[in-house]
Structure 1
Amino acid sequence: MIPLLARDAYSLAGFRMLVNYGLDRVRFPAIVPSGSRVRDRATLISAEPGERGTRVVIRHTVEIEGASVPGCVADAITLLVPERLEGRAHD
């Protein structure tokens, strides 16, 4: 559900490739009843440049309408591969 909600929360453009490294610190503090309205609150936790690109961690908090506790909190890890890496040729 997080990738679908994230599409409406933000976009990452101008990269050769986005590599999904998965989720970290996944928690389910509350049950999300069927038919509930939810929204994603995305917060940038870190952006660390590396040899192959920039590793970003974005915390997703899935809020439930009318609830004081989120249904899910998870850190999505993505590698942003630039169009051209310094010192390396690409196809």
Structure 2
Amino acid sequence: MEPDNDNALPSDIRRKKLKFRAWHRGMKEMDIILGNFADRHLDAFDAPQLDSFEMLLHVPDQAFYSMLVHGADVPAEIDGPMFRRIFEFAKAPLSAP
């Protein structure tokens, strides 16, 4: 999976687009997990981290949710620092920093 051509956009516009995509996935549970994660962390991400997050947005909701919540196997191309960060975020209460 490769990031979209959005990486050529100014970083503030790219972050807004990624936050929108995180909040509008199609599966409410994933909207909540990825939307809150994006709101909390995207502003501090550098370009490679934005690329990693963007690539994960291409993972289908059901598969992503199964990996995060039900412990489904995580393919090697998905398993990395960004996935693990989202996984830890999904396990924590929303009020935690």
Give the TM-score band, short-chain normalised.
Answer: under 0.3
If asked which structure has higher relative contact order (CA below 8 Å, sep 6+), I would say 1
**Structure ID, larger Rg:** 1
Q: Please, what TM-score do these two structures have when normalized by structure 2?
A: 0.27
Q: Please, what TM-score do these two structures have when normalized by structure 1?
A: 0.28
